[in-house]
Amino acid sequence: MRIGFHMSICGSIDRAVDRALEIGCNTLQIFTRNPRGWIARPLRNDEVEAFILKVERNDVRPVFSHMPYLPNLASPKNDVYAKSVEALIVEMDRCERLKVPYLVTHLGSHLGYGAKRGLERIVRAIDKAFSAVGGRVTLLLENTAGTRNSVGGRFEDLQYIIERTSYPDRIGICFDTCHAFAAGYDLRTEEKIEEVIGKIESTVGFERLKLVHLNDSRGGLNSHIDRHEHIGLGKIGEEGFRSILRSRFARLPLILETPRNGVRSDLDNLLKVKEIAGVKP
């Protein structure tokens, strides 16, 4: 199993690899810059070289980057939209330089202007970014919790984007368990999980899944509440994760984005996943 966490890059990007290895991860996800601002600090040559060396030497793979928080690829506001597309281009460039093969993005909010308009904006944003950036980075569309005005709570939304982009071969899916559950996809039994997998197969295709964000949910089924919980302590529950970890989802890289609130450490959550999956720590 490939299991890891979203890791801090505090100090230097390569330190994220050190932090992952300290708790026994063999994959990881990062922000390549401050996720709460529009401006990205230029990457230093020394940290780029150190990051690549540590990833390759320790067989940490695959590595995932995540888009920062501010960009909204579905925004109807032209100024925000232009900045969001530019942020996507910059992030793709940074991934290329760091040899990070996958970039995860949230799809954003249509702000009340309608889901179809938001989806069309996303398609144009993706096409513009790929036309501006060469290389081999795969963009992973992350499903959302279906919060008000958000885009991507249904697999049909992701299918719409893939079918209309000029670059379908460069698009994959990141499946977030918390978001899916909050959006109405039940993950608490093997039977329900197979139904979800069938839905994925009939829309985007299961082969497009490249990553699972393994998170429990504080909100209930179809609550549209985007709040992550420690593995087994939320509404999906330990039995739900036992079923998830017996399914085809477990063959994919698993990245945890569990809370950092003192209830459990990252290491404790990692050990809990291995315990549920029957993997020796």
Cis peptide before 62 (omega within 30 of 0): yes
Q: Which CATH number fits domain 3-277: 1.10.645.10, 3.40.50.720, 3.40.50.2300, 3.20.20.150?
A: 3.20.20.150
Q: Please pick, among 6, 213, 218, 230, the residue that the annotation labels catalytic.
A: 213
User: Could you report the per-residue pLDDT of 62-86, keeping only the tens digit for each?
Assistant: 999 999 999 999 999 999 999 999 9
Q: Please pick, among 15, 19, 66, 230, the residue that the annotation labels catalytic.
A: 66
Q: Please pick, among 19, 94, 179, 188, the residue that the annotation labels catalytic.
A: 179
End-to-end Cα distance, the chain: 11
224 catalytically annotated: no
Q: How many whole angstroms from its chain centre is CA 70?
A: 15
Closest-CA residue to 266 (of 2, 8, 11)? 8
Q: Please pick, among 93, 226, 229, 266, the residue that the annotation labels catalytic.
A: 226
User: Could you report the per-residue pLDDT of 99-136, keeping only the tens digit for each?
Assistant: 999 999 999 999 999 999 999 999 999 999 999 998 89
* Integer Cα distance of 159 and 163 in angstroms: 6
Q: Dihedrals φ, ψ of 181, to 5°?
A: -60, -45
pTM: 0.97
Portion of the chain with pLDDT greater than 70, in percent:
100
69 catalytically annotated: yes
Mean pLDDT for all residues in the chain: 97
* Integer Cα distance of 20 and 238 in angstroms: 24
Q: Are strands 216-217 and 228-229 parallel, antiparallel or unpaired?
A: antiparallel
142 catalytically annotated: yes
